[in-house]
Structure 1
């Protein structure tokens, strides 16, 4: 007990909330700050971005999360970002996504992976990292709220924006970059590097147009294979990186709720439940990944000759199905086999 006079409590501010479903009866957990005779400090803290139109320039290849947040960070540091994105803006992407969904026609430059916002724009928007090099997570969450995301992501243990809200957030980030003097060029596929000895001075776009800058950031994601060929062509060092691959599995959401919440019917106050599984098989890690409660499975191919699947949920997570990736770790030793 705090042994406080309730009249002295001026505010109670929740700073973290989660559901603990490990026991038979799920528990709502919350961490809060109690203010005594003082005004609460808002956990939302927007950032003031600078105007950088005539400043030093850095070229960024790709407008997924890495490219967008690199641009915003450069603006904070007083540097002008110029983003080159092979895909289309977030609205124009919709037509190409319908072509995939209805007819199986894949535009190699505009699909679920390529285009403004990258793969996450139209496939979920979960906010988490397995990396131990986490950086300032709260800063990222605040920037997302500043650009239209729901404030709940600042306190949720497992924050999620949703594919219905993310496009608007991405558009707002684009507008901030432009308003601050940055540039964004869509339908701009990098086809070569401009090198001066060992220094990269610029980029060739769509075979003809030159862009020059003081530095270059490659934020191209995992499916821009042509960039790896370019790096190899110019004898730029490449290094293998461990990754994971596997399949996507789907279940009735009601089944997952029954297992996780130990009840035939989910309490209406509880969210659609999720899970996280991991084990070792023959000294190799096998684990669930990108679990989507109340979600759907979508086609995420970047060419017509491949089949790639992903999962997503809208903010309500109200689909009758749940899905998850089930993946196996692949490391450098496997390349030698």
Structure 2
């Protein structure tokens, strides 16, 4: 017999089979010895009461052999001699999952990645962190796996209507992720484990007959009769195919410029701008779990915050328990910060982006920017220019070598200079600077009020022990590449398929992966496969 039940147990009991069996038997009104096994369907933490509890949804086996969890295992075809080829630009989650889906359908993917393979890429990240030297083609955003490889591997998404979330998670497990991501309420893989998983995906693509080329920056389109025939790369190579999937991520500004210069439609898109806020992890643990210490059974606590300030929302983004603030710029003379965590989330700090929504009307009201970029006011790249302008101001305030400007939280909110700064996980270093001179006034005001409201929601959050670091500006793309709602092609150029976060159709690893699969399926349908 199999039955599904829900249990609430203490954290130390949740992972102990011997201690769980009596709870299961009690819930079913049977003897513990008749429980032969169980599968966890869902696991979440309920910290609303004085004692944090784990809520479990279980498939229980009674008086019959328990079976292992059944994983979704797609069949990847041999495409060495496939008659159809599709070029995939970008080896982030959208590009990789598009390539795997094409292989499922019998199409040969040709993946072009401007950056390096994931192992070689690590050397460039070390140079960023230790020497403040940034390679514009190989960094935290560009390279195999895309920005997601070095941003914690969060797999939570609300986009359950965009595709098959379960298939995406199962695919990650197939290539090396732990099975717990299949049932955790907020699953994540960990930056330390993602590189091996991304490598395994690439090796699968190659075994099946697909191609993956690194250091292949796309710089031109080959067109004819309103149709895309192929692409050219910076080193002079040409790749032709039946279709091209454009999955370049939200930081590939040169692609937006290429499209604009080719006369292809793009649109300015609202994005979010702000800072990274970092607290001691113990402070967040104590506030969220309502106990002096979380102990060994509870994971480092996270938070999700949102506050309406006037007509503007202030919200947390990409919260990293036990994490590190990372330098994520892709251009010289810019400061961008992001966050990541290892799988154990065992660093002493908790950080999160705290950001404010930015629309075109907001930017038009910033005199200093309008004076510098007023001639571009009607350009679809207007918000991109604004994003870049703020990042350049942050670089100047930091003083160079990717040192980031920072302040203590209360000092920032009360308009005071911070004479000293707390320790911070940002490896290139931080420099005390008035962030209201970096951030536009509407962002500064919203953040100042937002932080104070957050202090009413999480005890101890509004504190001068917290440091805020500028600037968190790559939350999403400031440009959308339009596509037909049915064919998913660019409305002006057949065979060009904008895809993923960089095109404005995703907001994280899972939603980008699902969009990659969706685009691949549309192409297969068009090619009658």
Corresponding residue of 1:48: 75
CA distance change for structure 1 residues 332 and 49 in 2, over 3 Å: closer, same or farther?
farther
**Bigger CA drift: 34-43 or 237-246?**
34-43
In the alignment, structure 1 residue 141 sits paired with structure 2 residue 141: no
Aligned mate of 1:188, from 206, 209, 216: 216
Instruction: For 2:204 and 2:360, locate their aligned partners in 1 and report how far apart those are by CA, in whole Å.
Output: 40
Provide Cα deviations, 1:282-326, integer angstroms capped at 9, x if missing partner.
212210010000011111111221000111110111111000000
Instruction: For 2:106 and 2:248, locate their aligned partners in 1 and report how far apart those are by CA, in whole Å.
Output: 23
Following superposition of structure 1 onto structure 2, how do residues 1-337 of structure 1 map, counting pairs within 5 Å? 1-4=27-30, 8-36=34-62, 37-40=64-67, 42-55=69-82, 56-131=84-159, 133-331=161-359, 333-334=361-362, 337=365
Kindly state the Cα deviation for residue 38 of structure 1 after the two structures are TM-superposed: 5.0
Where structure 2 has 5 or more consecutive residues not aligned to the other structure, the ranges are 1-26, 366-529
Instruction: For 1:51 and 1:271, locate their aligned partners in 2 and report how far apart those are by CA, in whole Å.
Output: 42
Q: What is the DSSP-based 3-state SS (H/G/I as helix, E as strand, rest coil) of the residue aligned with 2:166?
A: helix
Q: What is the DSSP-based 3-state SS (H/G/I as helix, E as strand, rest coil) of the residue aligned with 2:232?
A: strand
Instruction: For 2:208 and 2:359, locate their aligned partners in 1 and report how far apart those are by CA, in whole Å.
Output: 41
Do the aligned partners of 1:192 and 1:207 also contact (CA within 8 Å) in 2?
Answer: no
**Bigger CA drift: 211-220 or 201-210?**
201-210
Provide Cα deviations, 1:33-85, integer angstroms capped at 9, x if missing partner.
12243543624232221111222111011101111111111111111110100
Q: What is the DSSP-based 3-state SS (H/G/I as helix, E as strand, rest coil) of the residue aligned with 1:92?
A: helix
Provide Cα deviations, 1:103-157, integer angstroms capped at 9, x if missing partner.
1111110001000001121231111224464421110111001101111111111
Instruction: For 1:241 and 1:291, locate their aligned partners in 2 and report how far apart those are by CA, in whole Å.
Output: 23
Which structure has more strand as a fraction of its residues?
1
Instruction: For 1:133 and 1:284, locate their aligned partners in 2 and report how far apart those are by CA, in whole Å.
Output: 27
Which structure has more helix as a fraction of its residues?
2
Where structure 1 has 5 or more consecutive residues not aligned to the other structure, the ranges are none
Kindly report the root-mean-square deviation, in angstroms, between the aligned alpha carbons of the 2 structures.
1.6
Kindly state the Cα deviation for residue 197 of structure 1 after the two structures are TM-superposed: 2.1
CA distance change for structure 1 residues 225 and 68 in 2, over 3 Å: closer, same or farther?
same
How many residues were matched structurally? 337
Instruction: For 2:191 and 2:98, locate their aligned partners in 1 and report how far apart those are by CA, in whole Å.
Output: 22
Kindly state the Cα deviation for residue 265 of structure 1 after the two structures are TM-superposed: 1.4
Instruction: For 2:72 and 2:245, locate their aligned partners in 1 and report how far apart those are by CA, in whole Å.
Output: 27
Larger Cα Rg: Structure 1 or Structure 2? 2
Instruction: For 1:10 and 1:165, locate their aligned partners in 2 and report how far apart those are by CA, in whole Å.
Output: 32
Provide Cα deviations, 1:212-265, integer angstroms capped at 9, x if missing partner.
000001000111111011111222111232322211010000000010011111
